[in-house]
Homo-oligomer: A and B are copies of this chain.
Amino acid sequence: MTTPDASRRADGRTPDELRPITFQRDFTTMAAGSVLVSFGQTRVLCTASVDEDVPRWMKGSGKGWVTAEYSMLPGASPERIRREVKDGKPSGRTQEIQRLIGRALRAVTDMEALGERQILLDCDVLQADGGTRTASICGAWVALHDACSRLVATGRLAANPITDACAAISVGIIDGQPRLDLPYEEDSRAEVDMNVVMTGAGGFVEVQGTAEGAPYSRAELDALLGLAEGGIATIVGMQREVVAAAPDPR
């Protein structure tokens, strides 16, 4: 699957190659789940907090909820990122990402099995080098799974309500070439930019593809989906390996 040097990317990867990925479990120890996920230079701290005091509209439903918040630390990029605290609301981009992460995780959670409690995933980007929203989904899934495992371990849940793995990756067309897992340098000049979220079983949860320059053809769309399917299968394997062992008791 290697390609000739000419098509090597700036960081030496082949078009269908992921960056080095790590999941550092329990990076912090106060939240119910905590994972520092890295995709190359992109690093996101994902923590899961369990809230037994569910919102009013959920009471009596017998069902739980999973939601997410996302933020970038100001020092996460070479050009400092302004905090959103003075704006009174997360930016549209932030809200869009938060909703994407929440939808992705809810797609693999059995809300009745979770029961009347809410799990909130916080994804705080410590360092940003492209793909922060997809890395957030990958890391948050592990943090969510760990938080649920601890609910099982302490007898608050009978079984883990997470029904399948869930991972995400960015793909795009750069210099006319479809590529997997874009770092900032590629993302910022991509002609087409697509984020794909899939389950461990290979179903699509979300496909969002945007032409940044010229519109793209059906054939290009198909090529990008193929790259994403391959990358996500690899990530799902890593996620499953991480959660194979139970997390430390807390």
Interface residues of A (CB under 8 A from B): 28-31, 34, 41, 43, 45, 47-49, 51, 69, 71, 73-78, 80, 83-92, 95-96, 98-99, 103, 107, 120, 122, 124, 126-128, 198-199, 201, 203-211, 214-218, 221, 225
Contacts and interface: CB of A to CB of B under 8 A. Distances in A.
A51 to B, nearest CB: 7
Nearest to A213: B107
Nearest to A126: B28
A204 B225 contact: no
B207 A209 contact: yes
A25 to B, nearest CB: 14
A221 B209 contact: no
Given A28-B43, A51-B80, A209-B206, A74 B69 contact: yes
Contact of A204 (B78, B90, B124, B218): B218
Interface centre among A99, A199, A205 (most CB of B within 10 A): A205
B218 A225 contact: yes
A206 B194 CA distance: 9
Nearest to A143: B75
11 contacts: A28-B127, A29-B41, A31-B80, A34-B75, A45-B73, A85-B88, A92-B99, A107-B215, A203-B217, A204-B209, A204-B216
A119 B50 CA distance: 37
Contacts of A78: 30-31
A120 B207 contact: no
